[in-house]
């Protein structure tokens, strides 16, 4: 952090602008680049001036105050000689990259890798994948043993270089989206996407702006469930939440007491059932016509992913062909 000591009119560690450059123009008369000059004093001759101990400078990626088309691309420090406290600083600006229509912020760079795929998982078949209704036998009872099935989840992986090591991002690993989110052109309803974050420090101190490499993996799960157990209405995509069929050998009576189910034993008497019986959403016996009530449970914590600054759209290059262009065509 900068030292607040005063030396004459200068504050140690705080850069002071001394010259604002004139932009170099391209053939179209537009600003292509410019360099501004600053000076800073260090507290002693052993201290090397860097962006880490100097304030008052723009960040890499910041827009120039005069030339809005130019962004800060490089910051160089030069000592005025052995035994001097003074360092000259050259701040270079260049035209914003046309590589991507998504302009990098001062903290997040362009995506360096992007993959789509699927990953399979084993799960209990609780509800029909098409209509979302509970899976029951032809008598309307739950199956005695769970039915195992295999499902595929969409998985998106991308890598991005970033300027800061933000540990708050790592804390979000394993969480699911608290609200609907759009990532790389895909819209994920609440609780249907799960994120994993991996951080690598390149230790490249010369490339301070994009020193850290983040890997993001988004795994999306679709699980359409008919929650209320009745005909009509659309199923709900509960995503990563776990659906459970409400059934058991006991139910709650009007006083909230647990009572065992009794069914006909085929001999004119009553006996405890061999199969779990359907329950209502309040724990009582299921009403006539119920197709099974499903309750969902969270297996992962939900979180606000705002700090991740996930890209909403797929990066496209301005020189990519339009849909009407073909190889060798116009």
pLDDT value at residue 164: 79
Residue 324 lies in a domain: no
* Residues of the domain holding 35: 6-95
88, 59 Cβ separation under 8 angstroms = no
Shared-domain flag, residues 83 and 119: no
Residue 31 lies in a domain: yes
pLDDT value at residue 207: 46
As for how many domains the chain has, the answer is 3
H/E segment holding residue 220: strand 212-220
The phi, psi pair for 249, rounded to 5°, reads: -100, -5
pLDDT at 91 over 90: yes
Strands 277-278 and 247-248: antiparallel
**Cα separation of 206 and 232, whole Å?**
63
Mean pLDDT of the 153-170 span: 88
pLDDT value at residue 2: 45
pLDDT value at residue 275: 86
- Overall size of the chain counted in residues: 330
Shared-domain flag, residues 113 and 194: yes
pLDDT at 114 over 60: yes
Q: What angle do CA 147, 151, 153 make, to 5 degrees?
A: 150
Domain boundary among 55, 74, 95: 95
Shared-domain flag, residues 69 and 26: yes
Residue 174 lies in a domain: yes
Q: What angle do CA 323, 325, 328 make, to 5 degrees?
A: 150
Mean model confidence pLDDT for the chain = 83
Shared-domain flag, residues 53 and 131: no
pTM: 0.58
pLDDT value at residue 232: 63
What is the torsional sign of CA 317, 322, 323, 327? negative
Residue 168 lies in a domain: yes
pLDDT at 14 over 50: yes
Shared-domain flag, residues 62 and 35: yes
Q: How many CB atoms lie within 10 A of CB 268?
A: 6
């Amino acid at each position: 952090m900068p030292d607040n000591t005063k030396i004459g009119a200068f504050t140690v560690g705080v850069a002071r602008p001394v010259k604002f450059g004139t932009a170099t123009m391209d053939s179209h008369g537009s600003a292509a680049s410019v360099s501004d000059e600053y000076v800073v004093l260090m507290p002693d001759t052993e201290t090397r001036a860097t962006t880490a101990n100097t304030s008052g400078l723009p960040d890499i990626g910041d827009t120039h105050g005069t030339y809005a088309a130019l962004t800060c691309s490089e910051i160089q420090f030069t000592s005025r000689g052995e035994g001097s406290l003074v360092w000259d600083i050259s701040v270079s600006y260049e035209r914003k990259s046309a590589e991507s229509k998504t302009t990098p912020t001062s903290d997040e760079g362009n995506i360096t890798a992007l993959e789509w795929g699927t990953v399979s998982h084993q799960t209990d078949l609780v509800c029909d994948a098409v209509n979302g209704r509970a899976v029951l036998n032809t008598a309307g009872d739950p199956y005695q043993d769970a039915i195992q099935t295999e499902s595929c989840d969409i998985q998106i992986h991308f890598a991005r270089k970033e300027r800061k090591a933000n540990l708050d991002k790592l804390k979000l690993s394993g969480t699911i989206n608290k609200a609907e989110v759009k990532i790389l052109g895909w819209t994920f309803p609440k609780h249907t996407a799960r994120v994993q974050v991996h951080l690598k420090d390149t230790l490249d101190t010369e490339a301070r702006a994009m020193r850290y490499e983040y890997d993001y993996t988004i795994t999306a799960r679709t699980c359409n469930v008919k929650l209320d157990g009745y005909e009509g209405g659309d199923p709900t995509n509960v995503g990563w939440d776990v659906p459970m069929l409400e059934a058991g050998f006991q139910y709650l009576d009007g006083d909230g007491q647990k009572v065992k189910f009794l069914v006909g034993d085929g001999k004119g008497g009553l006996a405890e059932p061999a199969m779990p019986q359907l329950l209502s959403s309040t724990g009582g016996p299921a009403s006539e016509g119920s197709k099974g009530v499903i309750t969902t449970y969270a297996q992962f914590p939900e979180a606000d992913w705002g700090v991740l600054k996930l890209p909403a759209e797929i990066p496209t290059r301005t020189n990519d062909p339009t849909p009407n262009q073909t190889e060798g065509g116009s």
